[in-house]
Amino acid sequence: MQIEKQFNDLKILDLTPDPMIIIDIHGNLIEINDPIEKVTGYTRQELIGKNFLKLKLLTDKSKILAIKNLAKRIAGFKVEPYEIEITTKDGIKLHYEINAKRITYQGKIADAVTFRNITTRKKEEEKITLYSEGLRKILNEKHQKLVKNEERFRYITESSIDIIYEMDLDTKITYISSSVKEITGYQPEEIVGRYIHELTGKIDISLVQAKLKEFTEGKKN
């Protein structure tokens, strides 16, 4: 259960640089500091005595979250800082982190709420999210293209009556078409992983590697 704190000195409100309000157990604003007026554009007279649920200060989603957490704190439960979105008098939407505690104000249970501006951080997070989604889309498109190319290649090689194979720069066979079985009697899996000179007899392997390197470098240029 959260420990109730005394809050009788209004100087704390004045000394707090962040926007801060005190609300009663019903959600009515009973005290605010100057930064609240500067941030929201609402005057003290427009806010004091008003219920935050009836004000246009919070978005509907934020109101639901705020009243839920207020009820928890008033009941004595600790609530970790959470994020809300407020709308200024000019209609500008800002993101704030709420840190609130149950207190005793003028002999009654109340809630002291401090607002920390996280609008810049949220915008950066949104940019990162958009970038990540865009990058994910590009990678997915490239993957789909590679899959289609792979499927097309497999179709061509498996349909051919000729032996089609791939090998790396060390002349190790990495792929060979299924037609190898009809021509040589070997299964493809018996061939893949072996070096080409193992299958073709004595050849100048260094010459083959040189030609492969020359071909590969030529493609890069």
Q: For residue 186, which phi and psi values (nearest 5 degrees)?
A: -85, 145
Task: Look at the domain 161-214 and name its fold.
Answer: Beta-Lactamase (3.30.450)
- What pLDDT band is residue 1 in, cutting at 50, 70 and 90? very low
Domains 5-117 and 161-214 share a fold: yes
Q: Is the pLDDT of residue 88 over 90?
A: yes
> How do residues 174-200 score in pLDDT, each as one tens digit?
888 887 777 777 788 888 888 877 776
User: What pLDDT, on a 0 to 100 scale, did the predictor assign at position 83?
Assistant: 93
Q: How many CA atoms lie within 13 A of 138 on its CB side?
A: 6
User: What pLDDT, on a 0 to 100 scale, did the predictor assign at position 140?
Assistant: 86
Contact criterion met (CB below 8 Å) for 79 and 101: no
Q: Is the pLDDT of residue 64 over 50?
A: yes
> How do residues 109-161 score in pLDDT, each as one tens digit?
899 999 999 988 888 888 888 888 888 888 888 888 888 877 777 777 676 66
The residue whose two tokens read 């299958």 is 199
Q: For residue 81, which phi and psi values (nearest 5 degrees)?
A: -50, 140
Q: Is the pLDDT of residue 213 over 70?
A: no
User: What pLDDT, on a 0 to 100 scale, did the predictor assign at position 116?
Assistant: 93
What architecture is domain 5-117? 2-Layer Sandwich (3.30)
> How do residues 15-62 score in pLDDT, each as one tens digit?
788 999 999 999 999 999 999 999 999 999 999 999 999 999 999 999
Using DSSP, how many helices (H) and how many strands (E) does the chain show?
Answer: 9, 8
Domain residue limits, the chain: 5-117, 119-159, 161-214
